[in-house]
Structure 1
Amino acid sequence: MTHVFGRQTKGKLPMAVRGEGIYLYDSGGKSYLDGSGGAAVSCLGHGDKDVIAAIRAQLESLEFAHTGFLTSPPAEALADALIAHAPEGIERVYLVSGGSEAVESALKLARQYMLEIGQPERTRFIARRQSYHGNTLGALGTGGNLWRRAPFDPVMVSASHIAPCYEYRGREAGESAEQYGQRVADELEAELLRVGPDTVIGFLAEPVVGATAGAVPAVPGYFRRIREICDKYGVLLILDEVMCGMGRTGSFFACEQDGVRPDIITIAKGLGAGYQPIGAMLCSGEIYRAIEEGSGFFQHGHTYLGHPVACAAALAVVTKLTTGGMTARAAEMGHYLGEALEAEFGQHAHVGDIRGRGMFRGLEFVADRATKAPFDPSRKLAARLKATAMENGLICYPMNGTIDGQSGDHVLLAPPFICTKAQIDELVGKLSASVRAVLA
């Protein structure tokens, strides 16, 4: 009997006892290829000696100092390293314990910024349908994933939502990718005008949508148009890179590939690579100065923000991702992963779309490729694929509700950047065998 309150109460999970490279091992000795890095977390794989050494060294000098009283060398160094690689205009780093905390911090900072500059009437956020930005009530209320939101709707302050940039299902016949991007981006302006542009604080989106849709990138020009609209109406652009950032898409920040400058960015997952719980909210110098020259106090905080051991681990991770060349490796091996998936599934009768960037890839399953009709949700395709893949020694990230929170199935792949080509072939082979078994 276990006293752990797990994510689900039915069934028993294997007991993980060891990790090495891209593999995890359970108490029975079975190995699992970590094809999704957990939830796009383990970018450096398991057992990285440099990160472990950084944690050990920090523990020997300082394990904790509350940021209400003191700062610490690893927190300062990590902030410096992140800003050195951040988009233009991003100047400050607020260090937290994870992705939901980072998004909550972003939402609260954005609201306080509007108060500091004398625009208290701005109280709304706009996000996109079928989005996910975290499981705390503020982040969940901003997200647009109906399945996750439904039980908690009565106690949440909700954003309004526009269409996602989802080319596979949204682009119309005869429409170029760029035209499609401009059309769906223009929904932001229409929504601003509907609710009153002077009432909106910010627009929140993932540059590459992760868990809810399966590695869906924006089409070229989409985010540049979004930036134009935000600037026109004085709305903050908040980019959620909790899952897609930190080298995952082949650039350190995912938004680099969209040529866009956000006002606030949230990161986590790959920032700590699984070695420590850590996240961060980064903001522009303009936003920081509004607080600095105004109240001088961000009315927000968490006990473990700027945790010295977590910061030391993250600094070692960031060093490997940047000067250590692992982001470049994610781009290189991600190209190979994309080619391998196309070779195996490109003509598959039930794979409608293969998408993503870098080591962040998704496959969307369909009952009919010609009509793009999804499988009936009663088939529980995603749940069966997850279970079958585990039996076959593969950890991947299947989800249902891809289209609207109810219909559609996809699998998300986010393997460690250290993968070799042979290991990517192994991943694709195990996924193919699992898909065959489930669709037989």
Structure 2
Amino acid sequence: MICVPEYGAMIPRSYKTALKKAVRGEGIYIFDEDKKPYIDGCSGALLSSVGHGNREIADAIYKQLTTLEFAHPSRWYNEATMEASKEVASMSPEELNYVWLVSGGSEAIESALKLARQYFVERDGVSSAKYVMIARWNSYHGSTIGTMGLAGSMARRRTFYPLYQDYPKIASHYCYRCPFGLSYPSCDIRCAYDLEHEIRKIGAQYIAAFVAEPIVGSTVGGLHPPKEYWPIVRDICSKYDVLLIADEIMTGIGRTGKNFCLNHWNVVPDMICSAKALSGGYSPVGALIVKDEIIETLKEGSGAFQHGHTYNANPVTAAAVTATLRLIKREGLVENAYIQGERLGKKLQSLYEIPIVGDVRGMGLMRGIEIVADPATRQAFPSPVNAAGVVTNECLKQGLVVYPGRGQIDGIEGDQFLVAPPLIVTEQDVDEIFTRLEKGLRAARDILLPRQ
């Protein structure tokens, strides 16, 4: 029987999950109430990129709190937000020089959807029919009503289906379980051209944007595309006058060894949605980074983005963003993510020897592992087994926190998890993470596939 803590007045994520109590963080470690250290092997939810307990960032936040903690963005602008926007733009492709700061990833995506629609209205007039957003199955873009209609993770949205407008979706680049029954490279990247098929079917005159994660995060665990995928998608969007919106909320700010993940393929989107690691986890944050042409159209038209939140562009979060990004640049953490990510990726290949490991994927310090009952047939464990939960618990016993996910095969079956430690990890840290992960997976194997 699971012993669940008494949470008092706090509503937890689940009343049926025995959460541990975190009391302190330092570097790549989180400590529980018994002072046991755990390696934060997933950076919380891929946001604590510069580690825990960083005094430099904390001091920057404190200084801002005691200088100007809030000034409503409908009536004021402030130096902290201008500084943060400049830092974000400096890490972005040179064609994207405008930044809209918000309080989280869901807000960033919502902002992108509204800006995409407003852009076409401003450009073409109020009669513009371009309002449809295309996304992908096996995606996650947020937990608000608007973003849930965009995303394709059924496990997260099934209960709320009556509440949102569902947008059309195409297949993701799930090569391990190709939705078209094809194999790379003879597939001719059918998954990318599925976007063109969908645009033509609906009518390009109705399509405003295509929204997708460069590497799929929580829903399929580090699912990276064939190298041809994103250049093809960029060309299709340009051909049909469709905005390309990159959801880099997990993949951005150095996670994959580049400032933003699409840089790996020299692809420039029209908008980038960022969040999480922008402030290193020290303040709730999100950002919409926008191509110059779009903002110039607004400037020449109505002159205003018809959107806003109370904490949009707040100075305290801005101070956290500036301090975090300057630290990342100064310490070379993007480059370190590439170097240590290569090391981690090579070590993870040996995990195929464990008979519950079906697929190892990802880039940089964003690696995913799919758990299966039979690697030869790729048969998943039955959903009630909760194989991802078993792996997570066994890794916790080894002092390693990973990020599990389920339901990627058909919305019900499928188990996988992410390994994505802070960008400050050293070679020794990577080796220790691998050692703990391997022990956790072998212990999970003994539970999931007991020897007869």
TM-score in same-fold range (> 0.5): yes
**Contact map agreement 1:181 1:219 (CA 8 A) in 2:** no
Partner secondary structure for residue 237 of structure 1: strand
Matching of residue 238 in structure 1 with residue 238 in structure 2: no
Partner residue in 2 for 1:45:
51
Partner residue in 1 for 2:434:
428
Q: Percent identity?
A: 41
Partner residue in 1 for 2:449:
none
CA shift, 1:353, in A, is: 1.2
Matching of residue 69 in structure 1 with residue 75 in structure 2: yes
- 1:26-48: CA deviation from partner (whole Å, max 9, x where unpaired): 12212111000010011011011
Matches within 5 A, 1:272-283: 272-283=279-290
Matching of residue 31 in structure 1 with residue 37 in structure 2: yes
- 1:371-401: CA deviation from partner (whole Å, max 9, x where unpaired): 2121221211112222232233221111111
Matching of residue 207 in structure 1 with residue 214 in structure 2: yes
**Contact map agreement 1:267 1:279 (CA 8 A) in 2:** yes
CA distance in 2, matches of 1:215, 1:301: 32
CA shift, 1:104, in A, is: 0.6
**Contact map agreement 1:181 1:221 (CA 8 A) in 2:** no
CA shift, 1:222, in A, is: 0.8
CA distance in 2, matches of 1:130, 1:175: 19
CA shift, 1:308, in A, is: 0.9
My pick for the range that moved more, 402-411 or 227-236, is 402-411
User: Which residue, 108, 122, 136 being the options, matches 2:144?
Assistant: 136
- 1:131-179: CA deviation from partner (whole Å, max 9, x where unpaired): 11000111111001111121111110111111101222228898543x5
Partner residue in 1 for 2:236:
229
Matches within 5 A, 1:154-165: 154-165=162-173
**Contact map agreement 2:392 2:404 (CA 8 A) in 1:** yes
Partner secondary structure for residue 249 of structure 1: coil
Matches within 5 A, 1:207-356: 207-343=214-350, 345-356=351-362
- AA in 1 matched with 2:376: A
Partner residue in 2 for 1:437:
443
CA distance in 2, matches of 1:93, 1:174: 40
CA distance in 1, matches of 2:165, 2:119: 19
- AA in 1 matched with 2:389: A
Matches within 5 A, 1:357-376: 357-376=363-382
Partner residue in 2 for 1:86:
92
Question: Kindly tell me: are residues 174 and 168 of structure 1, through their superposed partners in 2, closer, same or farther at Cα, counting changes over 3 Å?
Answer: closer
CA distance in 2, matches of 1:98, 1:111: 21
My pick for the range that moved more, 6-15 or 198-207, is 6-15
Matches within 5 A, 1:157-176: 157-170=165-178, 175-176=183-184
Partner secondary structure for residue 192 of structure 2: helix
**Contact map agreement 1:116 1:290 (CA 8 A) in 2:** yes
- AA in 1 matched with 2:151: G
User: Which residue, 92, 98, 102 being the options, matches 2:108?
Assistant: 102
CA shift, 1:107, in A, is: 0.6
CA distance in 1, matches of 2:160, 2:215: 26
Partner residue in 2 for 1:383:
389
**Contact map agreement 2:272 2:288 (CA 8 A) in 1:** yes
Partner secondary structure for residue 61 of structure 1: coil
**Contact map agreement 2:171 2:179 (CA 8 A) in 1:** no
Matching of residue 152 in structure 1 with residue 160 in structure 2: yes
Partner residue in 1 for 2:132:
124
CA distance in 2, matches of 1:186, 1:127: 14
CA distance in 1, matches of 2:181, 2:175: 11
- AA in 2 matched with 1:280: A
CA distance in 2, matches of 1:346, 1:439: 12
- AA in 2 matched with 1:53: D
Count of residues in Structure 1 that have an aligned counterpart in Structure 2: 438
My pick for the range that moved more, 316-325 or 188-197, is 316-325
CA distance in 2, matches of 1:96, 1:15: 29
**Contact map agreement 1:181 1:220 (CA 8 A) in 2:** no
- 1:160-211: CA deviation from partner (whole Å, max 9, x where unpaired): 111101222228898543x546321111111111111111110000001100
CA distance in 2, matches of 1:181, 1:161: 20
CA distance in 1, matches of 2:346, 2:368: 13
TM-score (norm 2): 0.93
CA shift, 1:232, in A, is: 1.1
- 1:33-84: CA deviation from partner (whole Å, max 9, x where unpaired): 1000010011011011221221122223211111111111121111112212
Matching of residue 189 in structure 1 with residue 207 in structure 2: no
CA shift, 1:261, in A, is: 0.9
Q: Which runs of 5+ in 2 are unaligned?
A: 1-5, 447-452
CA distance in 2, matches of 1:395, 1:265: 28
